[in-house]
Amino acid sequence: MGDPVDRYHRQKLLPEVGMAGQERLAQGRVLIVGCGALGCVQADLLARAGVGHIRIVDRDVVEPTNLQRQTLYGEADVGKVKADAAAERLRAVNSTITIEPIAADFTSDNAEQLAEGCDAILDGTDNFETRFLLNDLSVKLGVPYVYGGVIASRGMAATFVSGDGEHATPCLRCVLPEPPPAGSVPTCDTAGVLGPAVAIVAAQQAADAMKVLLDKLDLLSGTMLDFDLFKNTRRRLNLADIAGDRSNCRCCGQRLFDALDGSSGSDAVALCGRGAVQVSPATHGAVALDDLATRLSAHGPCKRVGPLLKAETSQGEKRFGLTIFPDGRAIISGTEDLAEARSIYARLIGA
């Protein structure tokens, strides 16, 4: 194949990159949390760009429904651990860089350890609980947080830079002080997701991560991209304009890291002898169970039983039952794995 650096020739022609920039990318280290739709595209683009160390954290396995938009996986990967399957593919794409797969649930207990030594944190998640954790981590460590989200045909992306420097921005909690109540907004599992919308968001995230690694913070926009491909709308919102007073922000203003210290977030408890886990949301409030029932009905039987909502769903060959209470609590039967129960809750009900 010749000199492995030759592969970056077209990239090095860019004045923002050049030989020196390519060397910076080779020395760069990124953390990608979640290797689903967004994480796959992020990791693929950054690996091809020559980012030297890519750490991928994801606890899930590949399912057939992932193949529509999760571009690192093929049919032969169904049933494999996502982090490992992604790493196998990325090493085939670029053998000159380090891919570090970690099959783990990303929590307040391990977040700082998993982010150690990284220059940028990329959001490949699907719930606000983890995003608040990533935001806390970013502000505490002073590492830029590259946010992204997709639901149906709508996508959003922004890069948050903590601190008081010239290119600092408000943090995610300045823009969104509290996560939406459980069950109040659709999830990808209930509203669907358009593959091209994923590609746009993840490409923006990868480009911003490269700007960070190149030490070109002046090229970051300081805005949030918001678009809808089916409605043909697109806009950029200035982060400073949509954020509140930064001094009042619990995270970047007061440096209170509620998600990172474990004082906020959902609570999951295994119910002894029942083969079930109770998940209590971080944000309590009345859940519109009839609306939620409509969204969940696409995943299996779902019905109201008095004040409760009972639903069933499956992942691969495993089946789960959900009993959802008006205050957002849910008992998830069919598992005693707390991380698996939280994942099901986030995917179907929302954080």
Residue matched to tokens 């970013």: 138
Query: Catalytic annotation on 188?
Result: yes
Angular region, 144: left φ>0, alpha ψ -120 to 50, beta rest = beta
Q: How far, CA to CA in Å, does 71 sit from each of 36, 77, 159, 195, 293? A: 9, 11, 23, 9, 31
Residue matched to tokens 């700007």: 211
Eight-class DSSP state of 348: H
Rg of the chain's alpha carbons, rounded to an integer? 20
Euclidean distance between CA atoms 88 and 69, whole angstroms: 18
Q: Return the bridge partners of 226, or none.
A: 156, 235
Among candidate residues 141, 139, 99, 84, the one with its CA nearest the CA of residue 118: 141
- For residue 307, what are its two tokens? 């004040």
The SS3 assignment for 88 reads helix
Of 188, 249, 252, 302, catalytic: 188
- For residue 322, what are its two tokens? 């959900």
Helix residue ranges, H only, 28-151: 37-49, 82-93, 111-114, 128-141
Among candidate residues 83, 72, 68, 21, the one with its CA nearest the CA of residue 44: 72
Euclidean distance between CA atoms 80 and 127, whole angstroms: 23
Which class for 10: exposed (0-12), middle (13-18), buried (19 or more C-beta within 10 A)?
exposed
The SS3 assignment for 154 reads strand
Angle between helices 18-27 and 195-213 (to 10 degrees): 100
Active site amino acids: 188
